[in-house]
Amino acid sequence: MAAVRHHVTIKGVKDGLVFLLDDTCEFAQVIHELKHKLERTHQKILTGPIIHVYVKLGSRIATDEQKDMIRDIIGQKGNLLIQSIESQTVVPSALASDMADIKLVKGMVRSGQTLVKEGNIMFLGDVNPGGQIISSGSIYILGSLRGMAHAGADGDEKAIVAASHFRPTQLRIATIISRPPDEWGINEAFMEFAYIKDGRMEIDKIHHMHKLDLQQ
């Protein structure tokens, strides 16, 4: 039997508790498990003196609404006092040198919406199923990509698409369209990126991006 994957891990530290929230799954799954642990399996931490809580989101970029949901769930337990809710935003070294050319965009692309931008963009937020994000340059999403992304829309085959939570319904780079998601061979959604190699779209882990830079 496969081991159960935990989306919420609670660890004791010197000055309180750290709540580690999985950044590779749907936010709704994290919320469900957080509620379950506080109401069912971890009730013993909800008694006694005030406990300081530090929430770590990994590479997930949470919206204000999502952070409020976390605060509401943890905050309703009288002795748990949230000190911080933090994301650990890791910018790949291959990307860092190009940061000056990247436009920062914040928000959320919902079903039926299309966000169109020029040049390389870093999008802080989620692209939901049925939503589209299109750019003439590369697209870096610090959040969930669960809709469609089209990079290099003007024909730039060196453009890439990267996301913290990589589960697109479709990808396009220049005129190349990705294979269906179920043919990618990805078992779990990690921080990955898509690029063009020999006329085909390839998917790889984000920490391999430096190899692509050397080739181009």
Q: Return the structure tokens found at 91.
A: 């910018």
Range of the domain at 111: 93-215
* Strand order, beta sheet including 139-145: 102-106, 120-124, 139-145, 161-166, 192-197, 200-205
Q: Are residues 75 and 166 in the same domain?
A: no
Say yes or no: 31 and 104 in one domain: no
What's the pLDDT at 153? 93
Query: Which among 29, 34, 3 has a CA at the least distance from the CA of 19?
Result: 34
Which among 52-61, 149-158, 186-195 has the top mean pLDDT? 149-158
Number of folded domains that form the chain: 2
Residue 139 in domain: yes
Beta-carbon-side half-sphere exposure of residue 11 (alpha carbons within 13 Å): 10
Residue 59 vs residues 37, 87, 89, 164, 201: alpha-carbon distances, Å:
22, 6, 5, 6, 25
The pLDDT > 90 percentage for the chain reads 23
Q: Which of 126, 191, 205 is nearest to 163 (CA)?
A: 191
Within this chain, do residues 184 and 119 fall inside the same structural domain, yes or no?
Answer: yes
- Between 11-15, 118-122, 159-163, the lowest mean confidence (pLDDT) is in 11-15
Banded model confidence at residue 94, pLDDT cuts 50, 70, 90: very low
Q: Residues 53, 85: contact at Cβ < 8 Å? A: no
pLDDT band at 114 (very low <50, low <70, confident <90, very high): very high
Q: Does residue 51 sit in helix, strand or coil?
A: strand
76 and 98 co-located in one domain: no
Among 86, 104, 127, the domain boundary falls at: 86
The pTM of the full predicted model, rounded to 2 decimals, is 0.54
165 and 70, same structural domain? Answer: no
Residue 3 falls within a domain, yes or no? no
Burial string for 47-75 (b: 16+ CB within 10 Å, else e) reads: eeeebebbbbbbbbbbbeebeebbeebbe
Structure-model confidence comparison of residues 166 and 55, the more confident one = 55
CATH number at residue 47: 3.30.160
The one-letter code for the residue type at 176 is: I
Which pLDDT score, from 0 to 100, does residue 151 have? 94
Asked whether residue 2 is domain-assigned, the answer is no
* Spatial contact of 182 and 162, defined as CB atoms under 8 Å apart: no
Which of residues 86, 103, 119 is at a domain's end? 86
Decide if 1 is inside a domain: no
Name the band, by pLDDT with cuts 50, 70 and 90, for residue 215.
very low
Instruction: State the CATH number of the domain containing residue 189.
Output: 2.160.20.70
Q: Same structural domain for residues 29 and 51?
A: yes
Residue 139 in tokens? 């697209």
Asked which of 38, 53, 86 is the last residue of a domain, the reply is 86
Q: How confident is the model at residue 41 (pLDDT cuts 50, 70, 90)?
A: low
